[in-house]
């Protein structure tokens, strides 16, 4: 089928047919990737999977830049074979999972009818297969995207993307749009058009040790002060606004008969808006001690900013809804409590998150992929890659080689 023959609903039909014809191959590919265990905590274990993806992108005519990580498995970026490129669109995914090496021994990858079960399938190795298959589908229908695909795959998403965030932001700043191949939300396959921002803080209280029986008034209890701090932190919760402040870990003291000289608490913060992020950050940093003889310090801060339903994200969503309608696909939207690399990308570019697999069980033992829904989602991704540029020429950055934007190690 030539590009002249493919338009509108005809294109949708061709892409759906192509994806469905590849279902068995996609399942086999995902099974292979899922059986290459790649936990965030084991950079060495991630290398075979990154090697495989590098080879797959190269086979599709892409130049690939690989960056080693200092404490992670690093990341790779694949771009067009030559020359500056603008406009380009960024596809973002990750190889790391929350599952330790050896999990497959107890929970192997199993296909049960239309459902593929296994650790790492849904979150998010299915999204990696989607990216590669979508590129193949575009070639099959004889189309050349007006917006050149660029692929970034990291190995530290599940632990905050500390090493890969500079590359994600740099490439997103110049991108016409960003598609994040994280799994969809819920069994209906909702796009994640909003995500909470995440923060992590540690409050440490310093007191003074003394014998709890012989001379208790000579001491200053860091644990007593920490109890007051914890109450102040929990008072910051506002569920109507989507603000959660959770003290998830506490420690302190040296012996039961000693007034505690030090104690600490680790706090997880989640917010829906940047304004709330700034407010909660300021309130946590403004904490002061009220117990005589104690003092406190605050470390940490907001890590991933919120992914908000901005006008540019909403505009990209409308295009996606139109494409889904051409395919006869239902495409709901939802808000996710967890963060992803979409949080970073959305600060500087139109972003759609949750374009990955339909299924359920991220970070859970019942993790699985709904194969037919996932396959159709791959056709949707291919169609989205064929959308015309979103940004006007006057708003466009100068043409650059995307690989030149990848930070040097």
With beta carbons less than 8 A apart as the criterion, state whether 283 and 294 touch: no
Structure tokens, 310: 């901005």
Look up the pTM and report it: 0.91
With beta carbons less than 8 A apart as the criterion, state whether 226 and 264 touch: yes
Q: Is the dihedral of CA 75, 76, 77, 83 positive or negative?
A: positive
Q: How many CA atoms lie within 13 A of 147 on its CB side?
A: 24
The pLDDT of residue 373? 97
175, exposed or middle or buried, with CB in 10 Å at 0-12, 13-18, 19+? Answer: buried
Per-domain residue ranges of the chain: 3-195+306-405, 197-304
Hey, is 190 helix, strand or coil?
Answer: strand
Structure tokens, 129: 């297969």
- All residue ranges of the chain with pLDDT < 50 are 1-7, 394
Domain 3-195+306-405 bears CATH identifier 1.10.760.10: no
Residues in the chain: 409
Beta strands of 217-339 (E only): which ranges? 244-252, 262-271, 295-304, 333-336
The pLDDT of residue 396? 57
Per-residue pLDDT tens digits for 24-76: 999 999 999 999 999 999 999 999 999 999 999 999 999 999 999 999 999 99
Decide whether 3-195+306-405 matches 197-304 in CATH topology.
no
User: What single-letter DSSP state applies at residue 191?
Assistant: E
Q: How many CA atoms lie within 13 A of 41 on its CB side?
A: 5
- Beta-carbon contacts of 121 under 8 Å, excluding residues fewer than 6 positions away, are 30, 34, 109, 357, 359, 367, 368, 369
Per-residue pLDDT tens digits for 159-186: 999 999 999 999 999 999 999 999 999 8
Question: What percent helix, strand, coil does the chain show, rounded to 5?
Answer: 40, 25, 35
Place of tokens 């905050």: 160
Diameter of the chain measured on Cα atoms: 91
Q: How many degrees, rounded to 5, is the angle at CA 345 between CA 339 and CA 351?
A: 95
The pLDDT of residue 4? 34
The pLDDT of residue 85? 72
Cα R_g (the chain), whole angstroms: 24
Hey, is 266 helix, strand or coil?
Answer: strand
SS (H, E, C) 8-48: CHHHHHHHHHHHHHCHHHHHHHHHHHHCCCCECCCHHHHHH
Q: Which CATH number fits domain 197-304: 3.10.180.10, 3.40.1190.20, 3.40.1390.10, 3.30.70.360?
A: 3.30.70.360
Structure tokens, 248: 């998830």
The pLDDT of residue 32? 98
């Amino acid at each position: 089928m030539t590009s002249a023959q493919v338009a509108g609903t005809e294109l949708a039909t061709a892409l759906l047919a192509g994806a469905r014809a590849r279902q068995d191959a996609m399942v086999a590919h995902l099974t292979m990737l899922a059986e290459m265990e790649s936990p965030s905590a084991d950079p060495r274990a991630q290398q075979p999977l990154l090697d495989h993806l590098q080879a797959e992108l190269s086979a599709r005519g892409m130049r690939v830049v690989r960056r080693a990580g200092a404490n992670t498995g690093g990341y790779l970026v694949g771009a067009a074979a030559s020359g500056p490129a603008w406009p380009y669109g960024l596809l973002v995914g990750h190889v790391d999972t929350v599952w330790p090496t050896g999990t497959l021994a107890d929970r192997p990858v199993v296909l049960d009818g239309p459902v593929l079960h296994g650790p790492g399938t849904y979150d998010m190795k299915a999204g990696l297969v989607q990216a590669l298959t979508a590129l193949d589908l575009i070639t099959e229908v004889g189309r050349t995207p007006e917006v050149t695909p660029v692929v970034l795959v990291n190995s530290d998403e599940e632990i905050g993307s500390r090493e890969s965030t500079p590359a994600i932001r740099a490439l997103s700043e110049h991108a016409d749009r960003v598609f994040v191949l994280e799994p969809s939300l819920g069994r209906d396959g909702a796009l994640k058009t909003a995500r909470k921002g995440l923060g992590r803080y540690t409050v440490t209280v310093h007191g003074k040790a003394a014998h709890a029986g012989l001379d208790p008034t000579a001491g200053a209890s860091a644990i007593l002060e920490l109890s007051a701090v914890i109450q102040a932190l929990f008072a910051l919760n506002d569920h109507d606004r989507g603000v959660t402040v959770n003290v998830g870990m506490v420690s302190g003291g040296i012996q039961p008969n000693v007034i505690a000289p030090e104690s600490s608490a680790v706090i997880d913060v989640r917010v829906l808006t940047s304004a709330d992020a700034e407010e909660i950050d300021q309130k946590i940093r403004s904490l002061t001690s009220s117990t005589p003889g104690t003092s406190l310090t605050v470390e940490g801060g907001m890590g991933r900013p919120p992914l908000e339903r901005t006008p540019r994200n909403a505009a990209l969503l409308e295009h996606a809804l139109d494409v889904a309608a051409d395919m006869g696909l239902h495409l709901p939207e939802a808000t996710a409590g967890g963060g992803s690399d979409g949080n970073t990308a959305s600060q500087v570019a139109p972003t759609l998150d949750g374009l990955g697999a339909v299924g359920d069980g991220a970070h859970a033992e019942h993790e699985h992929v709904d194969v037919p829904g996932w396959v159709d989602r791959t056709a949707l991704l291919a169609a989205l890659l064929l959308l015309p540029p979103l940004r006007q020429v006057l708003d466009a950055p100068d043409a650059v080689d995307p690989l030149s934007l990848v930070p040097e190690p």
